[in-house]
Amino acid sequence: MSSTDLSIELTGLGLENPIILAAGVLGTTGTSLKRMAGEGAGAVVTKSIGSEPKEGHPNPTMLKLDCGFLNAMGLPNPSYKDFRKELSIASEGGVPVIASVFGAHPDEFQEIILGLEGASAYELNVSCPHASGYGTVVGTDPVLVEEITRAAKRTTDVPVWVKLTPNVTDIVEIGEAASRGGADAVVAINTVRSMAIDIHSGYPILGNLYGGLSGPAVRPVAVKCVYDLYKALDIPVIGVGGIGSWQDAVEMMMAGASAVQVGSAVYDNVNIFSEITSGLSAYLKANDHCLDDITGLAHRKVEQ
């Protein structure tokens, strides 16, 4: 493997590079996903898709803050029935297309996965409100996460990734549940519970009152989650949260990420994927490293 080769095998999928478009960002339509593939993403994840059409929360749904972004989109999507066509258009981009799916219970995940056949892999977004639990989300309950993962694995032969929320006391417990359920990889992290209030009026700014923080502000949080998950799990960890440069990608990989996803940073530049891959490639070459050398390096340094 030449040191500037960025291609990886991730849960059985071949990626030309490990920089992936994150779920919910420029992933509403097939052509938008195709465009991101053209901008150099090694794979693309769709907007999270559910079983019924959903308009999402009222606007404002997203805000740029000093140090990141706050959003509460509310999982808007046209349902898998309508998204199927978009998926096949996205595939024309020539990179793996991962369908992000969400639901409130195992059956719902199964229904959506079946309805979205043809994805290269499925990413289970377990951030949906817990049907029975009050105020909590599915992803905070290890039992449910394990069941959902197992159900998804039974439903499809392609890889299943589980996207984890950082809004738990112990993310490793949830990661382990996913792993027990048969997940091929975990993806960490989704956004961090947050809120902003308009001081001119006293109103919470988001239509949903509160939302999730992403971007630079959450990168140190994501690095810690990825570090802990890598240490505890035997399956690959895909790092996401605040990555906006090749340096950020390297840090996340050293924490243990086999690949990374980029979401909010498209704000600065949709060409961020090529930018990161070329920086990463130059870094590896200059240091005579390959990707395997840096994934999890922090753990090997600590053990020394």
Q: Is 128 a catalytic residue?
A: yes
Smallest distance from other proteins to CB 77, Å: 6
Q: How far is the CB of 19 from its own copies (least distance, A)?
A: 16
Beta strand extents in 107-230 (DSSP E only)? 121-125, 160-164, 185-188, 192-195, 210-214
> Which two three-digit tokens encode residue 98?
């991962």
Sheet of 68-71, strands arranged across: 62-65, 68-71, 210-214, 192-195
For residue 26, state whether it binds other proteins (rule: CB under 8 A).
yes
| CA-to-CA separations, 90 to 30, 34, 100, in angstroms, rounded | 4, 5, 13
Q: Kindly tell me which residue out of 7, 12, 14, 59 binds other proteins, with binding defined by CB under 8 A.
A: 59
3-state secondary structure of 212: strand
User: Least distance (Å) from other proteins to the CB of residue 200?
Assistant: 4
Residue 65 binds to its own copies (criterion: CB under 8 A) = yes
Distance in Å, CB of 25 to other proteins, minimum: 6
C-alpha to C-alpha distances, 109 to 78, 114, 151, 168, 288, nearest whole angstrom: 16, 9, 8, 22, 43
Residue 77 as a binder of other proteins (CB under 8 A): the answer is yes
Q: Which of 67, 128, 225, 290 is catalytic?
A: 128
Going residue by residue from 202 to 221, which x/- string records binding to ligand FMN, judged by CB under 6 A? ------------xx--x---
Q: 42: burial class by Cβ within 10 Å (0-12, 13-18, 19+)?
A: buried
Residue list 188-227, contact with its own copies (CB under 8 A): 192-197, 199, 201-204, 209-210, 213, 216-218, 220-221, 223-224, 227
User: How far is the C-alpha of 144 from the C-alpha of 147, rounded, in Å?
Assistant: 5
- 270 half-sphere exposure, CB direction, 13 A CA radius: 11
Q: Contact residues for other proteins (CB under 8 A)?
A: 24-36, 47, 53-56, 58-65, 69, 71, 73, 76-79, 82-83, 196, 198, 200-201, 203, 205, 207, 263-264, 266-267, 270, 301-302, 304
Q: Contact residues for ligand FMN (CB under 6 A)?
A: 22-25, 47-48, 62, 69, 71, 73, 75, 100, 125, 163, 190-191, 214-215, 218, 240-243, 262-265
Q: Which residues have a catalytic role annotated?
A: 128
